[in-house]
Amino acid sequence: MEMIKSSERFLNRELSWLAFNRRVLDESTNINNPLMERIRFLSISAENLDEFFMVRIAGLWGQVQAGVTTKSQDGLSPIQQYEKIWKQSRILIEKQQKVWSNLIDELKLNNISVLDLSKIDESKKNWLEKIFLNQFFPLLTPIAIDPAHPFPFLPNKGFGIVMRLKRKFDGNILKAIIPIPRQMERFISLPTIQINLIRIETVIELFLDQIFPNYELISKSTFTVIRDSDIEIEEEAEDLALSFENVLKRRKRGTIIRLMVEDTISEELANFLAKELDINNNSIVYTSGILALEDTKQLIKFRKQKLVFEQFHPRFPERIREFNGDCFAAIMQKDIIVHHPYESFDVVIRFIKQAAEDENVVAIKQTLYRTSNDSPIVKALIEAAEKGKSVTALIELKARFDEEANIRWARDMEKAGVHVIYGFLQLKTHAKVSLVVRREKNKLISYVHFGTGNYHPVTAKVYTDLSFFTVDESLCRDAAKLFNYLTGYAKPRNWEKLDISPITMRQKLIKLIKKEVEFIKQGKPGEIWAKMNSLVDAEVIDELYIASQLGVRINLIVRGICCLRPGIKGLSENIYVKSIIGRFLEHSRIVCFGNGKTLPSKLSKIFISSADWMPRNLDRRVETLIPIENATVHQQILFQIMVANLKDNVQSWELNEHGNYIKIGKKSQNRFAAHEYFINNPSLSGMGRSLNEVKLPELDLDI
C-alpha cells in the first residue's frame, strides 16, 4: 500500500523519546508509588531531559546552524524537529514544576518541609549562620561583573545565582553572580524535631550581606546552563585515551543550548545573562518552582520506611548454591540464566572473582562498557593480572558520560599488566561478554557469560537484565573470535551460533522475520515477540509492517523510543506495542520467533541481545545476538519472563497509531504487575509451578 512508502509510517524519534520521559514523570504522580520514590521519578525525568538537551537537541541545533536540510525518516527537517521538540520540552518542564509543587505539599503532610526565607526564625538563622560560615562560605566565589571582572566561564550544568545590587552609601549598581558548586548539598537539614530542610540558594540569599557587605539586593534569579555535550573524535587519533581526555575538556566548553531561569527574573537580568552567554532569547526557559530538579533525589536520604519501596533481597542462584558457590562446576552441569535485579548480580562478580583466584584459570577476556566507581570486576581483573594470568579488557571510551571513569580504569589496569584495548575508532563496543579459559584434566575448557546489561553492580540493582552462563563450545569459540575481532580488527570467516553487529545481526533479524512470513504462506502460525529499549531502525520496522500485512502477529514491549505506528488497518493492525515503566528500568533485550508454532512454544526460537533495534546498534556498534537452545533456559525466558511482561497491566502503557500512550490500568481484581511478581518469585528455577498462573491473556490487537 502507499503508506509503506510514506514517511507517515514512522513516528518521530525525538518526540517518541519525550513521550517516554513523560511516562517516567507520570510515575511521580502515581499514588501507588511511595512518596520518596515519586520524588525519585521526578529527579530521573529532570536528569533525562537535561541529557536530551545536551545530546539530541544540541545535535539538531548543530544541523540547523550548518544549514542541513536532510529530513528524518518521518519527514521532518532539522529546524522542524528542533521547533517541535523545544515546544514539547517547555511543556514538560512546566509539568515537572507542577509535580514538584504537589510533592512539596505531600511532604508537609508527612512532616517534611522545604522552607523558604519567610519560615526562618531567629533561632534557625543563628544555627544556619554557623553552618554557612564554616561549610559553605569558603566554597563560594562571588563575582562582580564589570570591565575589570569579565563574566566567568560556566561549565555544563553550571548552577548559580545572578543578581543586581545597590551599594548603600552611594547607590552605585552592581551586577554579580555566585556560581554554586554542584558538590555542595542542595538541601540542608535543620536541627528540629520534624524534618525541616532549606535549599542552599535560600541559605546564600539569607546571608547575602556577608558575601556582599554594604550592598542591598534589588533583584535576583537562580539559573542553570546546559551545553552541547556530544563528542567527536578525529579519525586518525593515535592515542585514543589521550584524545578522549582532550575532548572531555572541550566538552565542558560546548555551546550553550539552554539557559533556565526563574520566571520572576527581571528583564534586565535576563538580557544581561543572554548577552554575556552569547545566546538568543529562544534558548531561555523561564520557569516557576526550583531549578536543577534532578537534585531532588537528595531528599531520599531523609526517607522514612513507609515513604520508600519495601526492601527486597535478591536471591543468589540456587544452582550455584548447590555447588557450594563454585560457578564453574554449576555452569559445567547446565547452562544458567540469571534474572537481575530479582536474582543477585553478585553471581557475575563471583564468576569473575573465582576466575581471578582459581589457579587453573589461564586467561580472562572481558568487555567493559560501563561499570561502578569502585568496581569489584575491575579489581578482580587487576588481581588476575597480578597473579600472572593472561587478562584482556576491552574498555569502551565512547560510553557517553562515562568516558572519564573508563579512562581512569584503563590506566589502573594497564599498570597491573592487563592488556587494555579500546576497540574500534568508528564503532562503540556495546556487547557484554566475559570469557574465562580454564585448564581441566589437561584440556582447556572455556566458560562464557553473555549479558543484556552492563557489568555495573549498582545499576544491576534497578535495571532488569539477563545474565547467561554457558560452556557451549560453539558459543565459547564464537566469543573467542569476537575478542580476536576486537583486538585484531580481522573479521572471522564464519560464526557458528553468535550473530554480531555490524556484521551479521541485521541480516539475521530480517531473515528470521521473513521466515515467519513463510510460515504464514504455508498455512502455519507466524508470530514474533520482542522486548527492547528502543525501536527506530527503518528497515526493520518496514519488515515488521510487511510481516503484519501478511498475517504475522507481533507483540512488542518497547520501553522507550518507538518509531513504529501500531494498529493501522492494512499496515500494522497485527502489531501491538506496549511500554512498561515502573520500579525497575526495563533493560533486557529478548526476541522470540514462533518458528511455525503459536507462541509461547517449546519449539520457538529465542535470542537474548545487547542491542536495541536502532541504526546505531545494528550498524555502528559491536553487539551480540545469542541463541538460547538449552530447554530449561528457553522455558524460563519465554514462558516466564516474556509472558509475565506481556501480561502486566499495572505498569504498562499501550501505544496507538498516533504516537500516544494510554495506561492500561486494569481494575484491582484483574491486576498483574510483572515487577511485583518477580520480586515475590525471584528465582526463575523455582517458578515453574507458577506458570499456570501466568498464562498470556488474549490481547486485542485491533486497537
Q: What angle (nearest 5°) sits at the alpha carbon of residue 382, between those of residues 376 and 383? A: 85
3 state SS of 24: helix
Q: Where are the domains of the chain?
A: 33-307, 318-494, 500-694
CATH superfamily, domain 33-307, is: Polyphosphate kinase middle domain (3.30.1840.10)
Neighbours of 239 (CB within 10 A): 10
pLDDT at 156: 87
For domain 318-494, give its CATH number from 3.30.160.20, 3.30.870.10, 3.40.309.10, 2.60.40.10: 3.30.870.10
H or E element that contains 199: strand 195-199
Beta bridge partner(s), residue 224: 159, 260
Q: What is the pLDDT of residues 552-596, one digit of tens each?
A: 999 999 999 999 999 999 999 999 999 999 999 999 999 999 999
Residue with cell 583486538: 487
Residue 442, phi-psi category: left (phi > 0), alpha (psi -120 to 50), beta (remainder): left
Amino acid (1-letter code) at residue 235? E
DSSP state of 302: G
Neighbours of 59 (CB within 10 A): 16
Predicted model pTM:
0.89
Protein fold of 500-694: Endonuclease; Chain A (3.30.870)
> Residues 313, 339, 340, 430: which is the catalytic one?
430
Q: Indicate the pairing of strand 463-470 with strand 443-451.
A: antiparallel
3 state SS of 488: helix
* C-alpha dist (Å) from residue 244 to 372, 399, 489: 19, 11, 21
Q: Does the fold of domain 500-694 match that of domain 318-494?
A: yes
User: d(Cα 669, Cα 666) in Å, to the nearest integer?
Assistant: 8
**Chain centroid, CA 270 distance in Å:** 33
Beta bridge partner(s), residue 621: 428
Residue 546: exposure state from Cβ atoms within 10 A (0-12, 13-18, ≥19): middle
Catalytic-residue membership of 430: yes
Residue 441, phi-psi category: left (phi > 0), alpha (psi -120 to 50), beta (remainder): left
User: d(Cα 683, Cα 450) in Å, to the nearest integer?
Assistant: 19
Residue 570, phi-psi category: left (phi > 0), alpha (psi -120 to 50), beta (remainder): left
Residues of the chain with pLDDT under 70: 1-4, 230-254, 303, 305, 397-406, 666-669, 682-703
